[in-house]
Amino acid sequence: MRSYRHNVRENLLLALDTLRTHKFRSFLTVLGVLIGTTTVILVASLIQGLNQQMSQVAEGFGTRTIFIYKLPPFTFNPTREERLRKPLSYEDAQALKAECPDVEDVGVTLFNWQPPAPPFVTAKYKGQEIVDARFFGNTPNNFAITNADLDDGRLFTDIDNLHRRDVADIGAEIKKRFFQNEDPIGKTIEADGHNFVVIGTIARRKEFLGDTGTDSQIYVPYLTFKKYYPNVKDNFIDALAVPGRMDQALEEVKGTLRLRRHVKPVDPDSFAVSTADSIVQQFNQIISTVALVMIVLSSIGLLVGGIGVMNIMLVSVTERTREIGVRKAIGARRSDITWQFLLEAMTLTGAGGVIGIAIGWLFSFTIRSIFPSMPTTVPVWSIVAGFVVAVSVGLFFGMWPAVKASRLDPIVALRYE
């Protein structure tokens, strides 16, 4: 065992000496490995950060909340069937509340949005204008269902809703842009041409990639919104599951809506139901496609780097033929020669991997520093995987040169000039 360790240490020192002797050639040789490893680290850090941020955003709306829409989230190109679906109604929400024992509460949100136009309205206050505000009519209980926290003032109530009062609760971004130097409570703002008195402000939510959309919202009572937009029919429905009964609540919601919408047993749902977990899973499916493309690109870099390592090792075998002959003449075994060149190749690619990991971490840190809204977190597994893959490239592509060196005839090798 001691002799084996001594041989490994000796071969490793020889490999490092070769790297020092041919610095520039070694750098060019492992450039592909370096780029491939850097890509792996950078992509892994972005994916890890995005997943964490998306999870925080989704969970911020409640882990017991069931979101019910006409179209699924992240639907960018709806099918004909999806386009022809009838909207969800206020009566659908009331039926869920009455017929689903594992649903604790149900809220409804009304909005005036006709895709593909953006879901924005213009909001105004004292000559200031916001063109990307979002305007909704909510049932009062929807704040509690979606974990909206009050920052100042009060939330509108069932009385406000019943009397169709022109009052509004505004998001943190609206408050920031309209009321930096004054108290918004009691002030009148204009939203999509209608005036509302601000009675409360909503605390800022977790943001995804700096998107302040969830904080750029103006909420008015559901029936107030209906008063100004009597022909609007598109509703979001938010249902709150009884603690520990999420799966049962989901089944009840789907069953009730299928019956109300007359969906045949063999047909798919004519609506979409999701939770915080399912939204995160859908997002992961989208981001995984991007990750796959980047992994393929990094694999190409590793392949090119591996071929470069093999070529340079073959050149090294030719340059050191006499050295191999001398080593064999004084008692070196074929395995000693094989491991000498394998360790050299693995050291070469391993060094490229370490440099690639360092550069990838530096890029990740730089991105996070310059763009705070862009989350980057380098996971430990990506560092380990990057180094192992880099060393494995050296092992695989260094095998042929190492075996070729070990098979040289010592007599022929000693005569080589």
Q: What CA–CA distance (Å, rounded) separates 328 from 413? A: 9
Q: What is the pLDDT along the chain (417 residues), one digit of tens a residue?
A: 444 455 566 666 666 666 666 666 667 677 778 888 888 888 888 777 777 777 666 666 667 888 888 877 666 667 777 777 888 889 999 999 888 899 889 999 988 876 655 578 889 998 889 888 889 999 999 888 888 888 888 999 999 999 999 999 998 888 988 988 889 999 999 998 899 999 999 888 766 554 444 678 899 999 999 999 998 888 889 888 888 888 899 899 999 999 888 888 888 888 888 887 777 777 777 777 777 777 777 777 778 778 877 877 777 777 666 776 777 677 667 777 777 778 878 888 888 888 888 888 888 888 777 776 667 777 888 888 888 888 888 888 888 877 777 776 665 555 555
CA distances from 401 to 271, 302, 343, 404 (A): 61, 18, 12, 5
What pLDDT is recorded for position 408?
65
Beta pairing class for 217-221 and 128-138:
parallel
What pLDDT is recorded for position 385?
83
What pLDDT is recorded for position 1?
45
Q: What CA–CA distance (Å, rounded) separates 353 from 388? A: 8
Extract the tokens encoding 91: 């009566």
Q: For residue 414, what is the enclosing H or E element?
A: helix 410-415
What pLDDT is recorded for position 416?
52
Indicate the domain borders of the chain: 2-56+281-415, 63-274
* Closest of 311, 325, 309 to residue 407, by C-alpha: 325
In the block, tokens 């509690």 appear at: 144
DSSP 354-396: HHHHHHHHHHHHHHHHH-TTS-----HHHHHHHHHHHHHHHHH
Q: What CA–CA distance (Å, rounded) separates 250 from 256? A: 10
* Closest of 215, 222, 100 to residue 162, by C-alpha: 222
What pLDDT is recorded for position 213?
47
Q: Which residues contact 250 (CB under 8 A, 6 or more apart)?
A: 66, 241, 273, 275
Extract the tokens encoding 294: 């980047």
